[in-house]
Amino acid sequence: MPDIRHTPRASTLTRSMTGGEIIDAHRHDDHQIVYAGSGVVAVTTDRGTWFAPRTRAIWIPAGTVHTHQAHGHLDLHLLGLPVSDSPLGLSSPTALTVGPLLRELIVVCTRHGHDDSPERRRLRAVLCDQLRASPHQPVQLPTPVEPRLSAVCRMLRDDPADPRTLAALAAAAGVGERTLSRLFQAELGMTFPQWRTQLRLYHALRMLADGLPVTTIAHRCGWASASAFIDVFHRAFGYTPGSYHRRS
């Protein structure tokens, strides 16, 4: 990531972003919580992309070089937390479940920036308690490095509906099927089907944020039917894709 901007203090604010808008690569000395009140936010580092609708937030540890990208109209909430106040103790970005109480705490704490009044400090203390109790969620799309694995992942990124099996993709990349299967596990920490599901969910969220119909998204992302897409999406995010806009 070129031209990395260093901001010692992580932003605590609310801002609106239009679909496709990007906050360029930067890092800061504080931890940061990233939350999408509407739309979908994608946070990308050299290790991969984490994506979150309004039922998820993304934890970014201090010093992590990252970019933000908006999908759909994004109501972005950024909350900085000093290193001395680290409720999670995590060294890599992580997606967290956001329940109703945590959602309201994030919204209130980002509304007035770096307000350090006694009331705001008490709210932040409750927010940190909620963060500690929040389950972690696998909504990451890891970035491969190994050339043959990168080639296969690039094929699927270009066309998430690509129906080819692992064996067919391995042949196209000039690698053995077993070798490719091991590369997915060793480098990405996922099986091939798990990674492809994460990729399709990421594309599905982007398309939902852009207002595409559920049936169209299911077809473009490679699910056999709209009902199959709805089932996978509901298990991943806790609500159906058809209810996405009612929740945004």
What CATH number is attached to the domain comprising 213?
1.10.10.60
Same domain? For 48 and 163 the reply is: no
Q: Over the stretch 4-50, which tens digit does the pLDDT of each residue have?
A: 787 767 778 889 999 899 999 999 999 999 999 989 999 999 889 99
Same domain? For 88 and 128 the reply is: yes
The better pLDDT of the pair 135, 179 is held by: 179
- The structural domain count of the chain equals 2
Q: Residues 160-174: what's their mean pLDDT?
A: 95
Same domain? For 121 and 193 the reply is: no
Same domain? For 127 and 149 the reply is: no
Q: Over the stretch 73-129, which tens digit does the pLDDT of each residue have?
A: 999 999 998 888 777 777 889 889 999 999 999 999 998 766 778 888 898 899 989
Q: What angle do CA 220, 193, 203 make, to 5 degrees?
A: 30
Angstrom distance (rounded) from CA 54 to CA 49? 17
Same domain? For 130 and 211 the reply is: no
Q: Which residue has the tokens 């992942």?
A: 153
Residue 140 CA: distances (Å) to CA of 42, 49, 58, 161, 194: 10, 6, 10, 19, 11
Same domain? For 149 and 130 the reply is: no
Which residues span the domain enclosing 77? Answer: 5-140
> Is the Cβ–Cβ distance between 49 and 143 less than 8 Å?
yes
Question: Domain boundary at 91, 121, 140, which?
Answer: 140
pTM for the model stands at 0.84
Residue 56 CA: distances (Å) to CA of 64, 134, 175, 204, 235: 19, 10, 36, 15, 14
Query: Which CATH number characterizes residue 12's domain?
Result: 2.60.120.810
